[in-house]
Amino acid sequence: MSRRSADERREELIEAAIRVMIRDGVGRATTRAVVAEAGLPLGAFHYCFRSKEELLQSVIERIMVRASAPAVAAAAADGATAGGASADAVVRTALHAYWERIRQTPDEHLLTYELTQYALRQPGLAELARKQYAHYTEVTRESLEAMARLAGIEWTVPLPVLARHGLGVLDGLTLTWLIDRDDTLARAALDEYASYLVSVTRRDGARGARAE
């Protein structure tokens, strides 16, 4: 069997941790359980991670990379913006692409809420939860910036405020859907949020001046 590099083992441990946490819960994801799931010796964990807290942070980052909002905005570029799309088309395409990610991986998104609660309740781990939501806010801000570029618009609400508002809306919609799985109401609420975003846009003055 070929010898695996430290980076390869780290990747295997992160993915194994996600599987264990989804199946058994964050509290039961011991280092022994994770290495057993990965099929690695216990020493491999300490070779790749300084602590379980570092592993938890890596798990949070991995899940968010998969469902990152900038990737959603890129999906809008592939579809709605071919030939120059309106702000409405860009926003709705991006949000619905994001929502499909939620529907395709509900267990991973449920895990993100469990990770937050676990971190807040464990002495010394609250910083993980703060970093988690700081990352979410940054991803949301980047997504809004990407939407604006794609549609040639500006936001009339300060971006830090709009990003925090958007995170609150999407976070709440996601958690509510994970509880009741009501696709119809979830999509209706998502469309309502899209309508709000469109209502706080204006044409990008700089782009308009260049066009003239």
Domain boundaries, the chain: 1-49, 52-203
DSSP for 94-114, written as a single string = HHHHHHHHHHH-HHHHHHHHH
Within 25-86, residue ranges assigned H as helices are 31-38, 42-48, 52-66, 69-78
1-49 under CATH 1.10.10, yes or no: yes
- Average pLDDT rounded to a whole number, residues 114-138: 87
**Residue 84: its pLDDT value, please?**
58
**pLDDT of 205 over the 80 cut:** no
Reading the block at residue 113, the tokens are: 């809420």
* Beta-strand relationship, 153-155 and 201-203: antiparallel
**pLDDT of 73 over the 60 cut:** no
Please indicate whether the domains covering 1-49 and 52-203 agree at the CATH topology level.
Answer: no
Furthest-apart CA atoms within the chain: distance in Å: 65
Task: Report the run of H or E that residue 155 belongs to, with start and end.
Answer: strand 153-155
Q: Which fold, 52-203?
A: Tetracycline Repressor; domain 2 (1.10.357)
Reading the block at residue 165, the tokens are: 């508002």
CA dist list (Å): 111 to 32, 75, 88, 105: 20, 25, 32, 10
- When mean pLDDT is compared across 51-55, 195-199, 205-209, the lowest value belongs to 205-209
CA dist list (Å): 149 to 98, 129, 156: 18, 30, 14
CA dist list (Å): 47 to 9, 54, 140, 150: 9, 12, 34, 44
